[in-house]
Amino acid sequence: MTVGINTVFEALSHPARRKVLALLKAGPLSAGDLAQHFDISRPTLSVHFAKLKEAELVVVERQGTSLIYHLNASILEEALAGLLSLKDDDK
């Protein structure tokens, strides 16, 4: 895992960030499209996007003036595998 497991779980700790990931499960969305699903300011939403990007849970692609967010499910899978491996260490 290129990013620390703590960073991933910190990013997952906020309900707004989990909602962003849930929306991206259906496919890539622009920042504007994502913002329509929230009743919070764009600067606050940008902070949430930055946390998800830092944790590598999303990949961002610029298309003209738009930022397109893509879900990076492999990071979620790696974080869950790491968490489950802790259970194996208890045996």
pLDDT value of residue 17: 97
For residue 86, pLDDT beyond 60: yes
Provide the whole-model pTM.
0.85
pLDDT digits (tens, 9 = 90+) for 2-54: 678 889 989 999 999 999 999 999 999 999 999 999 999 999 999 999 999 99
Round to whole Å and give the CA distance between 51 and 55. 6
Q: Where are the domains of the chain?
A: 5-89
For residue 75, pLDDT beyond 80: yes
Those residues with Cβ within 8 angstroms of residue 37's Cβ, 6 or more apart along the chain or in another chain:
19, 23
pLDDT value of residue 69: 98
Domain 5-89 has CATH 3.30.70.240: no
